[in-house]
Amino acid sequence: MTTAAGQDPGMRYVELGRHTDNDGDRLTAQVEILRHASGQDDMPITSALGLRSAVEDRWRQAAKAAGKGADLDAIRAGDPDLVERESFLLRPALRQVVGASRGRPGAGCRPQSHQ
């Protein structure tokens, strides 16, 4: 069974919000507003600093080279080392976020670098 949004009600979902510019807690405030507007005040917001990349300019260059509307596979084709290294670095932060969504910090996530 799926909902109108195409989600299985028996599954847990985590929405990741990420922005590249470091402007303090502005994104967190925006997420809190959206969470309240959607009637999900009881859903936790987890801040994971590990989702920030130290090479944002390289990402911008790779995305620009891949073309407008490019997906991760297109960026990977142009800069495979960037995508592979960043995927490796993101794993612990994703574990933190997914674990927090389950009420257990760091629990049960094994993100794959090619997904």
Specify whether the CB–CB gap between 66 and 74 falls below 8 A.
yes
What pLDDT is stored for residue 99 in this prediction?
74
Q: What Rg do the C-alpha atoms of the chain give, in angstroms?
A: 16
What pLDDT is stored for residue 16 in this prediction?
64
* Closest C-alpha to 44, from 20, 12, 21: 12
What pLDDT is stored for residue 105 in this prediction?
47
Q: Give the domain ranges of the chain.
A: 26-101
What pLDDT is stored for residue 41 in this prediction?
87
Specify whether the CB–CB gap between 44 and 100 falls below 8 A.
yes
What pLDDT is stored for residue 112 in this prediction?
38
pLDDT averages per 10-residue partition of the chain, 115 residues:
63 63 67 86 77 88 94 94 93 79 48 37
